[in-house]
Chain A
Amino acid sequence: RKEVEQDPGPFNVPEGATVAFNCTYSNSASQSFFWYRQDCRKEPKLLMSVYSSGNEDGRFTAQLNRASQYISLLIRDSKLSDSATYLCVVNKGGSYIPTFGRGTSLIVHP
């Protein structure tokens, strides 16, 4: 099992749709979880951290399921500007070394 796995997509959705991505991780001792966004030919930027209790930022909701070892990202009311690659990041258990997933591509069309 890979350390961090994501469905590469692409997820092709119309504006206004709700879309969800999952990311599974293999190391049960992992402690830090993030979602980053990367636009084409740009650097990754933090979208949101993922906390044990779950967290929400506007149209974006992140959840952590430690029992099943996955994190999720829910995007409501998709905008054209949400089109990007969404990267899941998990730190290696017991260390500060982050591991990136391969990313999930989202395309929002009119």
Chain B
Amino acid sequence: DTAVSQTPKYLVTQMGNDKSIKCEQNLGHDTMYWYKQDSKKFLKIMFSYNNKELIINETVPNRFSPKSPDKAHLNLHINSLELGDSAVYFCASSNTLAPGGTDTQYFGPGTRLTVL
């Protein structure tokens, strides 16, 4: 009964490949997120998806594309992988609060991506 799950946990691949990371939450939350945590441990938001509205971080290359088939899933597809994409990617979910705010986020265990 894991709240937020991600697969795979580890991903090792060659430069130029395309890969996907899957995320599922069973908490009934209305918002899901993708974060990237680099080697300096800085956790940076990449995308947020709330009720079919996708918020894109402008600094994220368009090689990264999130896909949300339904409220419980937010997958991350990465095209043409580069060395600099190596990082830990965390999925998270939460409920949003009116008129503007964020409730507690629950994180998945992370996917450690290594690009060779």
Contacts and interface: CB of A to CB of B under 8 A. Distances in A.
Interface string A64-108: 000000000000000000000101010101111111101100000
Sorting the interface of chain B by its residue count into under 10, 10 to 19, 20 to 34 or 35 or more gives: 20 to 34
Contacts of A46: 104-106
Contacts, number: 66
* Secondary structure dominating the interface of B: strand
Given A43-B90, A43-B108, A43-B110, A94 B45 contact: no
Interface of A: 31-32, 34, 36, 38, 42-46, 49, 85, 87, 89, 91, 93-100, 102-103
9 contacts: A32-B97, A32-B103, A43-B109, A91-B102, A93-B100, A96-B50, A98-B94, A100-B43, A100-B45
Interface of B: 31, 33, 35, 40-45, 48, 50, 55, 90, 94, 96-97, 99-110
